[in-house]
Structures are given as structure tokens and as C-alpha cells.
Amino acid sequence: MQADPGPIGGDLSHEFINLADAGESDVFFDRRWLETDIPVIDVDYRCDLEPIFQRWTASYAATDEKHDAASCPIPEAELLTARGQEVGHIFYFGDKYSRPMQALVAGPDGAAVPLQMGSYGIGVSRLPAALIEANHDDAGIIWPESVAPFRVGLINLRPADARCREAADDLYAKLRGAGIEVLYDDRDESPGAKFATMDLIGLPDQLVIGPRGIAAGTVELKHRRSRERPGDRDLSKAPPA
């Protein structure tokens, strides 16, 4: 959406905003944005990108610094306001910096012209906050699998028990050997504390090993997002994640 370029300057600036109650600023936008399907598309960046730009800037959207109620083109009944988190920012500088730096190139006629400059920034430190805001419940984070810091959380309920420790260590090694990143909780804590911690961290799946499972030769599987427990898995057929 339209944004103030701030001290960086330039003639044009847009922010990529994730709507969130915990956002740092107010944003104003056309109600139609909530009904817009945003498909994942392949873009040929060698082609004319103007139609794409026009498509995604046709509907009104502006940060609080750029929004002017008096000149807003959207009827009040169709204008929504919300809180938003900035996750990316792009700027068009034109020749603001290239001209004073004498950053020149030869044009079609051979004459020297200043470079046209732009900046395209993804807020790497902002993305985790935006992801968590969009993926959580009352127990904690729910990481999407594509960005989860670990794929699986492995919980050993009874690390002082030799059989539990041996089975958990073996499963950990098998998961790692299969290329699955694992966060292994073998702390001397109560089961409830371990479950709460693993839910708070929010890895996609949890595997739980305890004395009853060892006796049956199974490991319990829990999906964090759905909270479903689809049943025990055979330890001998690991990795079960």
C-alpha cells in the first residue's frame, strides 16, 4: 500500500502489510481487498510489468502517513481501517542518489544519463512476528512447516528411565539420519511442563515417548496445528513423522 518514503526519500514508496491486531500502525483500504484472491503466479520479469503493477495498485490502500480523509477516493461506507504490520518496503529513488554520485550510463544516443534507482526490502526481522501473529492459538505459536525452525519436537517423558532414554535417543538419531530436523526435549521436567513448552514453541509435529509407549513398542504423534492425535506409531518403523 502507499507509504511515506521517510528520510530515505524518493518519489514513490509502497509497504507490504500484514493485517494484525498487534500491528504497529493504522492502515486504510478499500473493502474489496478482503474479497481479493491473491494467487501464486509465475512472473516473467523480462516482460512489461506495468499491468501487474496497475492490477495490484488499482484498489485504494494507504498507511496512516499517506491517508488523507479529505481526498480519499473511496466512499466512507467502503473504506476500512485496521492495524497492520510492515513486512516489506519498496522505494523508487529515481536519480535522487545517482545524480549527486555521478553514477551515469550511456543512453541510446550515447549521452550520459544518471541511473534510475530503487530499493526492494524484505523485513527479515519482521517476518517471524508477522508469521506468529497469523499462526498461533491460546497455547502458543503454530509454525508453518515451510518456515519452522525444526520439523519435529521429540519429547522423552521419562529421561531417567533407561528404556525411554535409549528409545528416544535411537529415534532422534533415525530422524536426523532421514534429514528431519528435530528439537529433542530430554529435560528433567514434568510431562505437563514439557507438553506446554512444546506447544508454546509450536513445531509442526510432536513425537512423545513414555513408559507405556515403550511397553507397546509405539510412539505418540500429535499435529500441532489441528491438535489431533492420529494414533500411536510403530517405533520399529521410524521415522514416523
Q: Taking a C-beta distance cutoff of 8 angstroms, is the pair 154, 183 a contact?
A: yes
Burial of 66 (0-12, 13-18, 19+ CB in 10 A): middle
Measured between alpha carbons, how far is 29 from 84 in angstroms, rounded to an integer?
11
DSSP structure class, residue 53: H
**pTM (predicted TM-score):** 0.72
Residue 241's pLDDT is 57
Phi-psi label, residue 227: left if phi above 0, alpha if psi -120 to 50, beta otherwise: left
60-111 residue pLDDT tens: 999 998 999 999 999 999 999 999 988 888 999 999 999 999 999 999 999 9
Residue 19's pLDDT is 87
Measured between alpha carbons, how far is 184 from 151 in angstroms, rounded to an integer?
11
**φ, ψ for residue 80 (rounded to 5)?**
-110, 155
Q: Taking a C-beta distance cutoff of 8 angstroms, is the pair 87, 16 a contact?
A: yes
171-202 residue pLDDT tens: 999 999 999 999 999 999 999 999 999 999 99
Q: Taking a C-beta distance cutoff of 8 angstroms, is the pair 182, 152 a contact?
A: yes
Measured between alpha carbons, how far is 115 from 93 in angstroms, rounded to an integer?
10
